[in-house]
Amino acid sequence: MNGFDAGAFALNLAVAAGAALAVMLAAFAVGTAKGVHRIVDIAWGAAFAAVALATWLLSAGHGDDGRRLAVALATMVWGLRLAVHIARRGRGHGEDPRYARMLARAPGDPRLYALRKIYLLQGGLVWLVSLPVQAAAYLTEPLGALGALGLLLWAVGLAFEAVGDRQLARFKADPAHRGMIMDRGLWSWTRHPNYFGDFLVWWGLWFLACATWQTAALTLVSPVVMSALLIWGSGKRLLEAHMADRPGFAAYAARTSGFFPRPPRRAAG
């Protein structure tokens, strides 16, 4: 492909898989020792950062330096911010109910089941979703209009995610809000500002890989898979199923967008 070092990129695919696997195996060792597998949620962001760093180092001399640096820094900032946020949020808590239910039904050794169904599965998803990050590093063209658009989407998405997480953390920290539904700030415009932020981040990173139509087509699966996970998979759908019976949630859902931000509807009457 013109403007793309396909041979070096093929090697990068294997190195990226190894980087994601190393982070997930380390998380599995810690999670098994502690008996708490929610640590994989911290490893999720850290694994993306590891893939981005490995790709940046390996792609030296193969792609445009500005594009390489932009995609590596964008991915590492996003991944490490998410990992730190989840680590702080989960401090002092026990096992995530999702993983507790999964392992309660595990056939055979629960540890091996956790390795396959939690850690290795998420490691595989990291590798797949990070394809634009890997491909962008091997594009020889400087960042153009599509690259600038990608960075703008990434920045808006990161802001949505970080501000939404901060607003929710402050709301939950006030004992007067115990049992209440967060419906303020960004949470009055969308029920999931953090997931919508992720959505923008990964479509933005995909635009960084769009300097050729071949790399755009090759990596399109990544933002599509991430969008499906956020909206119909382990993100919005699963969380709302958990919250459906909470007092006030039905009224909140009726006036607030399920995903894409919009002004809240007026309450009936």
Domain count, the chain: 1
User: Is residue 39 situated within a structural domain?
Assistant: yes
Could you count the other beta carbons within 10 Å of the beta carbon of residue 221?
14
The letter for the amino acid at 115 is: L
Alpha-carbon gap, residue 50 to 18, rounded angstroms: 10
Distances (CA, A) of 251 to 85, 87, 236: 29, 31, 17
Non-local (6+) Cβ contacts of 13 within 8 A are: 127, 134
User: Is residue 236 situated within a structural domain?
Assistant: yes
In 3D space, the residue among 189, 68, 221 whose CA is nearest the CA of residue 134 turns out to be 68
The confidence score (pLDDT) of residue 222 equals 97
The confidence score (pLDDT) of residue 269 equals 45
pLDDT bucket at 232, cuts 50 / 70 / 90: very high
Cβ–Cβ under 8 Å, residues 212 and 1: yes
User: Is residue 268 situated within a structural domain?
Assistant: no
The residue with tokens 């415009």 is 189
User: Is residue 260 situated within a structural domain?
Assistant: no
Non-local (6+) Cβ contacts of 1 within 8 A are: 212, 214, 215
Residue range 118-159, pLDDT digits in tens: 999 999 999 999 999 999 999 999 999 999 999 999 999 999
User: Is residue 264 situated within a structural domain?
Assistant: no
Residue range 50-93, pLDDT digits in tens: 999 999 999 999 999 999 999 999 999 999 999 999 999 888 78
User: Is residue 265 situated within a structural domain?
Assistant: no
User: Is residue 193 situated within a structural domain?
Assistant: yes
pLDDT bucket at 244, cuts 50 / 70 / 90: confident
User: Is residue 1 situated within a structural domain?
Assistant: no
Domain of 184 in residue numbering reads as 6-255
Name all contacts of 169-177 with Cβ < 8 Å and 24+ positions apart. Answer: 169/89
